[in-house]
Structure 1
């Protein structure tokens, strides 16, 4: 753990080969697929990170994002993923870390739509305590061709780059030098952790199957309370808040 904590502090990300058993992954896959198919239940929490405006078929979500899925499907938090990831977050950043929000991000087959380079902190309000960790859990084999994560090791004192939105409500993106970028393939049940200032990206899915990921985001309990007091619950309009 000491080596992982040091690497996380230095580079801004780590890889954990196995967070969950295949039995736990299968349970999550079943719930995940139910939510993907139920557009009524997920409607107000659901969007396409790819945005629109390129002439593509709008009936196909290329990068489906469902924010805070555990608020509409409590079975998710019964899975050990939430407790296991929380313990890692506490070990990495301190005992006051708690779950801020969760989300599902799925890349549909043959959509070949990248998630652009960005920093998560660009989405968040400016908080006095900057500690945060996002746990990206693979529910499928993930590799470059279907959209595994890529990271650029963080520089000391890394600041937030200027971000813009993709057209029509799409994801935030920024320009950056990618020569030191590293891809992180994972087996089902493996995960990465990264902090809010670490630049990351994933290629589009060119394969015949989904690329399903569950993301759990952690920060200090007092900062969660401060967010909520300012009306931030990680739903609603997607925009840059912290450039």
Structure 2
């Protein structure tokens, strides 16, 4: 664990080959697919990170994001993913770390739409305690062609680069040097952890199947309380705050 803590601190991300058993992955997939298909219950939490695109008069979701899915289906919280990820984060960053929010990001087959380079901290309000970790859990075999994560090892400090929004309500993005970027393929149940200042990206999905990911976001409990006091519950408009 000390090796993981030092690696996370130094480069801003780590890889865990097997966070979950295949049974735990299967359980997540069942709930995940139900939420993806239920556009009524998730309507207030759902958006396309690629920005909306109309095709023959229909909205096509290329990168489906559902914020706080456990608020729609509380059974998610019973999956071991939440417990195991929290334990790892507390071991790395402190016992006061807690779950801030969860999130689903699905890349549909043959949509070939990248998630642009960005830092998560660009979305967040300024907080005095900068500790954070996002656990990105693969529910499918993920590799470059369907959208595995890429990271640029973090430089010293907590600098946030200038970010802009993609058109039509899309994700934040920034311009950056990616010559040191590394791709992180994962088996189902594997995961990565990264902090809010680590640059990351994923290519579009050019394969025949979905690329399903569950993301759990952690920060100190006092910072979660500060967010809520300021009206930030991670269900509102996607915009640059920091």
Cα pair 2:152 2:178 within 8 Å, conserved: yes
Q: Which residue matches 1:226?
A: 226
Structure 1 residue runs of 5 or longer lacking an equivalent are: none
Shift of 1:236: 1.1
3-state DSSP of counterpart to 2:25: helix
State the TM-score, normalized to the length of structure 1.
0.98
3-state DSSP of counterpart to 1:177: coil
Deviations 1:132-156 (A, max 9, x none): 0000000000000000000000001
Alignment of 1:160-175 (within 5 A): 160-175=160-175
Q: Which residue matches 1:90?
A: 90
Count of matched residue pairs:
241
Residue 67 in 1 paired to residue 67 in 2?
Answer: yes
Shift of 1:60: 2.0
Shift of 1:109: 0.1
Deviations 1:45-88 (A, max 9, x none): 000000035x6565320000000000110010010000000001
State the TM-score, normalized to the length of structure 2.
0.98
Q: Which residue matches 1:133?
A: 133
Inter-partner Cα distance in structure 1 for 2:6 and 2:178: 23
Q: Which residue matches 2:210?
A: 210
Alignment of 1:45-60 (within 5 A): 45-52=45-52, 56=55, 58-60=58-60
Residue 153 in 1 paired to residue 153 in 2?
Answer: yes
Q: Which residue matches 2:237?
A: 237
Q: CA RMSD in A?
A: 0.9
Structure 2 residue runs of 5 or longer lacking an equivalent are: none
Q: Which residue matches 1:182?
A: 182
Shift of 1:92: 1.1
